[in-house]
Amino acid sequence: MLVIPLKRALSGAVCGALWLAELNAMFGSHHQFSEAQVAKIPPKTRTAIVKENIHGVEIADAYRWLENAESQETSDWIESQNEHTDAMIASLPGRGELKRRLTELMRIDWLSEPTMRNGRYFFMKRLRDQELSVIYMRKGLQAKDEVLIDPHPMSPDHTTSVSIRDVSEDGTILAYAVQEGGQDEVTIRFFDTDRHEHLPDCLPKARYWDISLKPDNTGFYYVRYCPDGARVYYHPMAAPPESGAADVEVFGQGCGPDKIIFANLSDDGRHLLITVWHGSAARKSEVYYQDVAKKGPVLAIVNDIDARFIGQVAEDHLFLQTNWEAPNGRIFRVDLNNPKREHWRQIVPETDAVIEGFSLAGGNLFVNYLHNVSSRVKIFEPDGCHLRDLPLPALGTVRGPFGRWKNNETFFTFSSFQTPPTTRVYDVAKESVEVWWRSEVPVNSEIFDVNQAWYESKDGTRIPMFLVHRKGIRLDGSNPTLLTGYGGFNVSLTPWFSASAALWVEAGGLYAVANLRGGGEFGEDWHNAGMLEKKQNVFDDFIAAAEWLIEKGYTRPEMLAISGGSNGGLLVAAALTQRPELFQVVVCTHPLLDMIRYHKFLVAKFWVSELGSAEDPDQFKYLYAYSPYHKVKQGAKYPAVLFITGDSDTRVDPLHARKMTALLQSATASHKPILLRYHTRAGHSGGRSLSRLIEDTTDEFSFLFWQLGVSFPPPSSPDSSPPSGF
């Protein structure tokens, strides 16, 4: 089989039949290229080397020009890459059946947990025949659904979505966000739920973290991210909407662009609680409060301890979760009438399980723990007396609970790898549990086998990994395996149902989730062991997971795929550049890749506390040592790679995927495809209709199955069909 080293021309003037004719003219009559062969040649990318000396190290960047998203040349290059990707995967065998099955798994009714106000319930719902989620209201738990905000007419391509941000105490005002594409920047609008009409108040498009309406509906507090940092504002309702001229800055002076600020009113509207995170790592956070009812000053609760603090207020007490001198977390109760530290009272001590979070409902504390990466929820009285555990159906993940201090109802959603989500309502007074909504996914959970394995990383640290596969798996190295992970920002990957994982298992594959250091699965010590100068531990953990799967006979390199997004995109890119021979195929979504320049773009200053910055000579050393973009070697044999990003990603700049695609296409000697799927109307936070999401997932799985040699649909099996009733 002839390998063609040439690149398809970028310019639209030399393409299609002209490019085919040019190729054949170059090689003469001894070899004539077909259109099918030419379609496999990636677009040519111009190089323009930029050299710079950073802390004594000369760095050359051939694709710096691709950082400019506004240039026509970049736009043409993106279009050419998308055309190339389409040509490579659009007609792959089994694609139709794959899309059909994904449609069955993904096109289902979906509901969010509700927000409760004054006997009304506000929630998001998407019916199976809809493209986007709609905001609904019920005037009673079992009342009829009323449509409040339907985003479908807002954009012809269904890339504009809505989400609930807050609801007034009496349930008459809805604050909601309008999001264009997948941008983090949104517009905030306000809707009268009785009259079914919009109010004149509106916050212009920006990055907002919190909206808190006052109980008397006279105004609201909000946090907006500005170029010089986040700020807390107060907006009086019915004030002139233009440019927020009537808004008053409440807090934020002196907080730079590396700080993240949250601000929320207590349920009774008396206390405003403000939290400042020192970057996304939040190794330090500050907590302030203001007695709004007395128009008091903003006072510090804690701002001098290098630890994470997260609080919630109920009446005159602040409940404060922290890892201060407790890496797994503990909770204090603080009397806001006497908030000095010597009067704090520990009510929930540290245990061997990690506190993921807590909520206040029915006069009690609901504390969500992780024990060996599985949820447990314990209920405490305000003084810390343990009442009972929330009844859970099995080992898995709990989202929530969500409730209010003076309401007995609290909602939580449970799911696991083999169990689609079910939202239940727990009545604190009655100690009863009822189903609010159950996901009706046509999947046969009886075929799933879920295990948690432990393996040793490079330095001997034991790492857990979930293995999901059909029952009766054979350990002969033949199983197509999809390995994923995250390993950063204190994020925990816990058991949760996904249509993608279900399809992978149905196709006879092994789905593996490694719980790497850098996450929050085992507390702050686990997080610290995978950040800054210890980030290489995360990559070592992931590579060790792949080696363990191969050693134990689950798979072999030719059958091993890896996938990750955002920080997980950095993870899989580091793995493919450090150990390219270990993997057959990689899906890398919205990734960080150029670790020398990442901090210069969008909101990346938030991540310096977690990852470091090349501005610092010591941090530059370890960043440069693992930066995937700088680890690519010309002539190395790299796995097949599909990069996914989009223009509406205003969190991780898509320049990373653009540059890395071009570099790998020019460098690889394996002749495996390096593809880019680039969305112009979607980004980090979504922006895709359900149909688009199904289409894109079909692309990803077509690519994975193609490279692993997996046929779809798999051979029929008596246990593969969905259970009756679906």
pTM of the full structure: 0.93
Distance CA 279, CA 525 (A): 18
- In the block, which residue shows the tokens 């709609």? 134
Distance CA 154, CA 689 (A): 12
**pLDDT for residue 238:** 85
> In terms of DSSP bridges, do strands 298-302 and 57-61 run parallel, antiparallel, or are they unpaired?
unpaired
Q: Which architecture, in CATH terms, is 447-607+636-708?
A: 3-Layer(aba) Sandwich (3.40)
Residues carrying an active site annotation: 566, 684
**pLDDT for residue 242:** 54
Please give the C-alpha separations between residue 253 and each of 206, 506, 542, in angstroms, as whole numbers: 19, 55, 41
Distance CA 268, CA 715 (A): 60
Reduce the DSSP state of residue 272 to 3 states and report it. strand
Mean pLDDT in consecutive groups of 10 residues from the start of the chain, 726 residues: 30 35 40 48 95 97 97 97 95 93 97 97 97 97 96 95 97 97 93 97 95 97 94 89 72 94 96 96 95 95 97 97 98 97 98 97 97 98 97 93 96 96 96 96 95 98 98 96 98 96 97 98 98 98 98 98 97 98 98 97 95 98 98 98 93 96 97 94 78 95 97 66 32
Q: At what angle do helices 72-89 and 690-708 cross, to 10 degrees?
A: 60
Alpha helices, DSSP H only, in 138-290?
none
**pLDDT for residue 181:** 87
Reduce the DSSP state of residue 139 to 3 states and report it. coil
Based on its alpha-carbon atoms, the radius of gyration of the chain, rounded to whole angstroms, reads: 26
As given in the structure block, the two tokens for residue 127 are 């019916």
Phi then psi dihedrals of residue 538, to 5 deg: -60, -45
Q: Which pairs count as long-range contacts for 525-533, CB under 8 Å and 24+ apart, including other chains?
A: 525/327, 527/281, 527/490, 528/283, 529/461, 530/487, 530/488, 531/281, 531/488, 531/610, 531/611, 532/610, 532/611, 532/612, 532/619, 532/622, 533/612, 533/618, 533/619, 533/622
Q: Where are the domains of the chain?
A: 266-350, 353-439, 447-607+636-708
Q: How many other CB atoms sit within 10 Å of the CB of residue 564?
A: 25
**pLDDT for residue 649:** 87
